[in-house]
Amino acid sequence: MDLGLKGKVAVITGGSIGIGLAIARAMASEGVHVAICARNETRLQEEAEKIRSTYGVSVLAKVCDVTNPDQIMEFSSEIRKTFGGNDILINNAGAGTNEKIMDAPDTKWQYYWDLHVMAAVRLSRALIPHMEERGGGVILNNSSICATQPLGYEPIYNTTKAALSMFSKCLANECIPKGIRVNTINPGLILTPDWISTAKKLTARDDISAMDYLDKLAKEYTPIGRFATPEELAHFFLFMCSDKASYCVGSTYFVDGGWLNTVT
Ligand code: NDP
């Protein structure tokens, strides 16, 4: 299927590892030029170089902590300078948490509010005018199944991801007259390097291996009985960015192997 994305420009936050990197690589494989950001510059530049040499597209890789409004503005103007604007924005950067509501300080709530919500607000505000000038585009907010079906150990994650989903819905209504389609993706269990290193730590003193631990977790949580690869999820992002998904507006799509335990 020709997705018709060749020559477009996609901005992907947190594009240096895991899901964001898989999306950046999938975009590049379709001939999309990419702008990626993250905080760790060495990893970011290494992955950017691999994308350039593998797919022959232009890659802007800029350090940007998306919780910092000034760095978001610098990233946005660099995108403008390099590509003249963008057609696609993927708000992906994010991280899990671990706390009890009664113990977590305000500073922690604020950090994850900035990371999961304000980053998407600020990037949208900065980049939508460029997208409008180019005749429209697509914004995808990478939320989580936890926005709807919370995990007990991470209330701050669950709450801020739920807020991201509502922001996404409101933005979709505001943007569709500009020809910009906004949607939310709620992934389930996606096997990123971070999951593997967490599993290694959790099983360090146990008889079970990290991979067996993850396998058990996936069987317990998901009807499909396994994690998805980041590439499996990235394919869905690609489709949602293409005109093949032209009637998809303001919705939330679960990519979760059946984990969501309700109908919406
Ligand atoms: P990873 O930890 O593998 O990657 C996170 C990426 O975001 C990295 O590139 C990281 O780079 C970057 N990042 C983190 N914090 C910031 C920040 N403050 N500013 C800029 N970049 C940042 O995560 P995943 O790939 O697993 O997750 C990606 C998204 O998908 C997240 O929003 C997550 O909530 C969501 N998700 C993941 C699921 C999973 O099972 N993996 C399931 C459901 C949702 P650096 O550290 O260098 O900044």
Q: What is the pLDDT of residues 93-109, one digit of tens each?
A: 999 999 999 999 999 99
CATH of the domain at 19: 3.40.50.720
Mean pLDDT of 14-18: 98
Phi, psi of 32 (to 5 degrees): -90, 135
167 lies in the same domain as 219: no
* Integer Cα distance of 171 and 41 in angstroms: 31
Q: Is the pLDDT of residue 114 over 90?
A: yes
- Are residues 124 and 171 in contact, defined by beta-carbon separation less than 8 angstroms? yes
pLDDT for 214: 98
Residue 187 alpha carbon, nearest atom of ligand 1: 43
Residue 133 and residue 57: Cα distance in Å, rounded? 22
Query: Is the CB of 66 inside a 6 Å radius of any atom of ligand 1?
Result: yes
Considering the domain boundaries, does residue 179 fall inside one? yes
- pLDDT one-digit tens code per residue, 117-163: 999 999 999 999 999 999 999 999 999 999 999 999 999 999 999 99
pLDDT of residue 264: 81
Using the predicted structure, report yes or no on whether residue 90 has a pLDDT greater than 90: yes
Taking only the tens place, the pLDDT of each residue in 164-210 is: 999 999 999 999 999 999 999 999 999 999 999 999 999 999 999 99
- Span 58-80, pLDDT tens digits: 999 999 999 999 999 999 999 99
**Domain match, 240 and 223 both:** no
Q: Which domain holds residue 58?
A: 9-190+230-254
Indicate the number of domains in the chain.
2
Taking the C-alpha atoms of residue 205 and residue 212, their distance in angstroms, rounded to an integer, is 14
What kind and span of H or E run contains 87? none
Q: How many helices (H) and strands (E) does the chain have?
A: 9, 7
Stated as kind and residue range, the H or E segment containing 32 is none
**Band of pLDDT at residue 257, cut at 50, 70 and 90:** very high
Is 197 found in the same domain as 152?
Answer: no
How far, in Å, is the centroid of ligand 1 from the Cα of 193?
10
The reply to whether 101 and 122 lie within a common domain is: yes
* Same domain, residue pair 205 and 97: no
Sign of CA pseudo-dihedral 39, 40, 46, 51: negative
Q: Which of 190, 55, 39, 199 is nearest to 119 (CA)?
A: 39
- What pLDDT, on a 0 to 100 scale, did the predictor assign at position 1? 80
Alpha helix segments (H runs only) across 66-144: 69-83, 106-113, 119-133
- The response to whether residue 19 sits with its C-beta less than 6 Å from ligand 1 reads yes
Q: Are residues 179 and 97 in the same domain?
A: yes
pLDDT tens figures, 31-62: 999 999 999 999 999 999 999 999 999 999 99
Q: Kindly give the distance from the C-alpha atom of residue 5 to the centroid of ligand 1, in angstroms, as a whole number.
A: 24
Name the phi and psi angles at 68, rounded to 5.
-110, 110
Asked, for residue 200, whether it belongs to a domain, the answer is yes
Q: Residue 37: what are its φ and ψ, rounded to 5°?
A: -140, 160
Residues 168, 241: one domain?
yes
